[in-house]
Structure 1
Amino acid sequence: MSHTIADKAPVAVPATRRLSQRRMPRWAPAAIAAAAILLGIGIGLAAGLESRIQWGMIALLLFVAGTYAVTTAVEGRRQAKDRVVTSVVWACFIVAIVPLYSLIATTISKGLKVLNGDFLSHSMGGVITIQPGGGIYHAIIGTIEQVGIATLIATPIGLLTAVYLVEYGKGKLAKAVTFFVDVMTGIPSIVAGLFILTVWVLMLGNGPSGFAGSMALTILMLPVVVRSTEEMLKLVPNELREASLALGVPKWRTILKVVLPTAIGGITTGVMLAVARITGETAPIMLLVFGSQIINNNPFEGGQSSLSYYVFEQFQNGNDASYDRAWAAALVLIAFVMILNMVARGIARWKAPKTGR
């Protein structure tokens, strides 16, 4: 039997099959991209287009078309469609990342002009707006206090609401709470500011303060905390709950000792992302805090500033010195939000379940 198999002549592979097995070299996409860029620049110059963005869009279209044409000739239409979809995904990624890169690059280049130790440690008290000088120390204090108070209020309320929806919520009340959380997710920040302005300032007669702004930020932060915590609690396996309940542990203690510690990484990440979301809000601060040129460490009395309001205020002044301060404050605000996001990712990795081998 073995001799019979060994003596058989090799079967000839049809030419169409050999052709269908051809593959483009690895350097082909890079070569097509380089050719598309050169052609895009050439067409842009020939057409008199001055914007490099227009050149880039032409190059992207040429890259997708060139990828389809070359892949069809070498690998066939089926592989060409697959590569075209991949090229479109990469093109969309580039289109999305270019504005972000441009924003960050512009903010860094213009913000570094006046960003130094004095800028971070001084306020605008006694500084003439048309002259250089001054800083954002008062705005940093206002941002930390306002966001901190909002976090202290929104985190426990949002956490308890999410626990109710996941562990206890049934019937019409749970559906109503879920509906209102969804509605609050889409509320514009100016509406939250107007609500606090009507209730806290006009009806109760309180003046502008950082605490008033914090209450508006709390409204904006609550749905984010509720939604993120709710999703993290749903990811906790029911087997853990059942095992704890089977041992005779009360449900409230099971939630406190088993469910929440298991989901604490995701909950913390959601809270940090919610903090990053409200840090750049300007409209509620304009309505309720009114801003300030000097340091005000008391968030319950008098106007305060914040980084977002400081940026708006300086751009509104309309002179070169104010523009430089605004760009520097915007850079600090972006760095603050990026640090919060990095901390959230670090906590998520630290608290992620470890799988042993």
Structure 2
Amino acid sequence: MATTTFMARRRRSNAIFLGLSIAAALFGLVFLVIILAALLYNGLAGLRPAVFLEMTPPPGSAGGLLNAIVGSLIMTLIGVAVGTPLGMLAGTYMAEYGRYSKLTVVVRFINDILLSAPSIIIGLFVYEVLVAPLGHFSAFAGAVALAFIVVPIVARTTEDMLLLVPNPLREAAAAMGLPRAYVITKVAYKAAQAGIVTGVLLAVARVSGETAPLLFTALNNQFFSANLNGPMASLPTVIFQFALSPYKDWQSLAWTGALLITVTVLLLSIVARALGTPRTSK
């Protein structure tokens, strides 16, 4: 009798908590659908070829987002190109060379701090280190700020993926006389390749929508510029500026830019998820 009462109480508790979990999930999904619906409704209304072919306009004029899109691509590519090798080297050291060393504990702790640090703090740091001493904003400073965001993501992903590689693979390669560097690059990297690429794609998705670091480093530029030593437009900063403006044409471009970033991040997340999904052989 006591056992039956206990099981009934457990089933009631399970049903209650399951219902609360489903309600919380639905609550979040409802707001997510509302946000996406508003984004699609307002973003698609302003989506036209001129968005990709014309520069950001002055108030009351027609224009597009070409300079902002190109600026975002330039700074994102430089930031990823700088941050990815540094992150991979740090992750490789923690997983392969210094797995049990005290230095690894320190590096991992610092990496976790960078991983959870607000991006505006990184922007302020780069401002003090690069922008203030040089006396002007620059796209190079913006790319450095984005690289600081990329490094901890890639480092953590690289370390985690390399730790998942079975040690017998390394031992078999070492038994054949391969140096440790070759064991890592030819065996461990090959086995963890999909996971590392997934981490890089997630880092790209993260930095492509960052606004705060760029406001303190690259600032903005209404005109087209590929000069890394001067202010450069970027899609997140243009969205921030146009969304706060009282002009309807600027607000329409802000919605369209937000839609472009959302679609880009969504595609990168889908590719990352596809690469990270294990494939079962038939």
Task: Place the TM-score, normalised by the shorter chain, in its bin.
Answer: over 0.9
> What corresponds to 1:302 in structure 2?
230
Please report the TM-score for the alignment, with normalisation by the length of structure 1: 0.73
* Larger RCO (alpha carbons 8 Å, 6+ apart): 2
Amino acid at match of 1:194: L
Verify the 8 A CA contact 1:119 1:133 in the aligned structure 2: no
**1:178 Cα deviation (Å)?**
1.3
Verify the 8 A CA contact 2:87 2:151 in the aligned structure 1: yes
Amino acid at match of 1:313: Q
**Distance in 1 between the 2:15 and 2:244 partners?**
49
**1:114 Cα deviation (Å)?**
1.2
**1:196 Cα deviation (Å)?**
1.4
> What corresponds to 1:109 in structure 2?
41
Aligned mate of 1:292, from 212, 215, 221: 221
Cα 1:78–1:196 shift into 2, 3 Å: closer
**1:268 Cα deviation (Å)?**
0.4
Q: Counterparts in 2 of 1:144-223, with a 5 A limit?
A: 144-169=73-98, 170-203=100-133, 205=134, 207-223=136-152
Runs of 4+ in 1 over 4 A off after TM superposition: 75-78
Q: Which has the larger radius of gyration?
A: 1
Q: Deviations over 1:184-207 (max 9, x none)?
A: 11222122112211221223x263
**Distance in 2 between the 1:212 and 1:80 partners?**
57
**1:347 Cα deviation (Å)?**
2.4
Amino acid at match of 1:291: N
Q: Deviations over 1:310-350 (max 9, x none)?
A: 1111023222222111111111111111111112123224x
Cα 1:79–1:186 shift into 2, 3 Å: closer
Aligned-pair Cα RMSD in Å: 2.0
Amino acid at match of 1:138: N
> What corresponds to 1:275 in structure 2?
204
Verify the 8 A CA contact 2:131 2:138 in the aligned structure 1: no
Please report the TM-score for the alignment, with normalisation by the length of structure 2: 0.92
Which secondary structure state, in structure 2, belongs to the residue aligned with residue 112 of structure 1? Answer: helix
1:87 is aligned to 2:19: yes
**Distance in 1 between the 2:138 and 2:92 partners?**
32
Amino acid at match of 2:31: P
* Equivalent pairs, count: 278
Instruction: Give the unaligned 5+ runs of structure 1.
Output: 1-15, 21-71
Q: Counterparts in 2 of 1:1-357, with a 5 A limit?
A: 77-124=9-56, 127-129=57-59, 131-169=60-98, 170-203=100-133, 205=134, 207-298=136-227, 300-349=228-277, 352=278, 354-355=280-281
**Distance in 2 between the 1:197 and 1:224 partners?**
22
**1:82 Cα deviation (Å)?**
2.8
Using the aligned pairs only, state the percent identity. Answer: 34
**1:156 Cα deviation (Å)?**
0.6
**1:353 Cα deviation (Å)?**
5.1
Cα 1:353–1:237 shift into 2, 3 Å: farther
Q: Deviations over 1:140-193 (max 9, x none)?
A: 101111110010001111001101001111433222211211111122212211
**1:225 Cα deviation (Å)?**
0.9
**Distance in 2 between the 1:123 and 1:346 partners?**
35
Verify the 8 A CA contact 2:243 2:254 in the aligned structure 1: yes
